[in-house]
Amino acid sequence: MDRVLVAAGAVVLILILIPPVVADGAGDQAIILVQKGDILFAQGEYEEALAQYSAATSMDPTYSPAWNKQGTAFSSLGRYIEAISSFDRAIALDPYFMKAFNGRADALLATGANIEALAAYNRALAVNPNDLDAHYGKGTALKRLERFEEAAAAFDDVIRISDREMRKHPAEARYNADLWANRGRAFAELQMYPEALQAFDEALRINPKQISAIKGRDAVTSYLAVFERANQTRPTPIPVTRAERLPTQTVAPIPPVCAAAAALGAALLSARRYRG
């Protein structure tokens, strides 16, 4: 009997001295909801993914990744104004959230607000001057504003910064599919198509499911196929890699090639939504 009393007293003493551990139920649940959303998003189920992300923001309104993911889902559904609002919430919670900065700028670009998008990319670069996504987006916005030399410089920055990263951290670069996909898109914008295909191939070697590299490679391949067919119908073949860096045609272009060029630009921009 005495032993039972002693044991009971020890249990009571432990409960008094050691405070109970309170789990952050809302935060944990929000993380689980975001993970479920990520699986659905990867499968292309954007509406279902959005429902999970939205539930996560309701469960824990302070969890910035949930707001960012919600913004990405909205963008993938073409609901750009709602996406911008979600990215704003993510940035308010985390002023250094680069994915949210870039997502917000991408959404602005998709609405045709090119000046505002350019300002948003510059804001992102103020946070991280070496962010490849922001440099690429800046180049796209400048290209739409017909500031072609500045656009070419921005795309060159993607190549320059990725070159530097490859020299400084060669082991990491060998396994960074996003870096290679960004290089591929920048080379494509600069009309350096063999280099673009090589970069996309490297990204896919690292990660065969890198969607932006898949979409970018398909876009460049389709564009070159149209160019090849156009060359077969012209007395003088058009060089595939022209001297000028950006698609500023100086002669009356062949309509199918124009359409292919437009499709290439749209596909490269669309591929940005799938970055990790």
Q: List the CATH code of the domain at 26-90.
A: 1.25.40.10
The two tokens of residue 39 are 């699986």
* 213-271 pLDDT tens trace: 999 999 999 888 887 776 666 555 444 443 344 443 333 333 343 444 555 555 555 55
Provide the pLDDT for residue 28: 85
List the Cα angle 189/191/195 in 5-degree steps.
Answer: 95
Distance CA 223, CA 89 (A): 38
Same fold for the domain at 26-90 and the one at 96-167?
yes
Alpha helix ranges (H) inside 18-79 = 25-42, 46-59, 64-76
Distance CA 129, CA 115 (A): 19
Provide the pLDDT for residue 173: 85
Write down the domain spans for the chain. 26-90, 96-167, 175-241+254-276
Provide the pLDDT for residue 21: 35
Provide the pLDDT for residue 266: 56
**Global confidence as pTM:** 0.74
Q: Is residue 161 a contact partner of residue 180, using CB atoms and an 8 Å limit?
A: no
Q: Which residues of 17-40 are buried (b: 16+ CB within 10 A; e: fewer)?
A: eeeeeeeeeeeeebbebbebbeeb
Tell me which of 2 and 201 has the higher pLDDT: 201
List the Cα angle 134/31/175 in 5-degree steps.
Answer: 45
* 150-196 pLDDT tens trace: 999 999 999 999 999 999 998 888 899 999 999 999 999 898 999 99
Provide the pLDDT for residue 202: 94
If you count them, how many residues does the chain have? 276
Q: Hey, what CATH topology would domain 96-167 get?
A: 1.25.40
φ, ψ for residue 8 (rounded to 5)?
Answer: -65, -40
Tell me which of 253 and 63 has the higher pLDDT: 63
List the Cα angle 167/127/139 in 5-degree steps.
Answer: 70
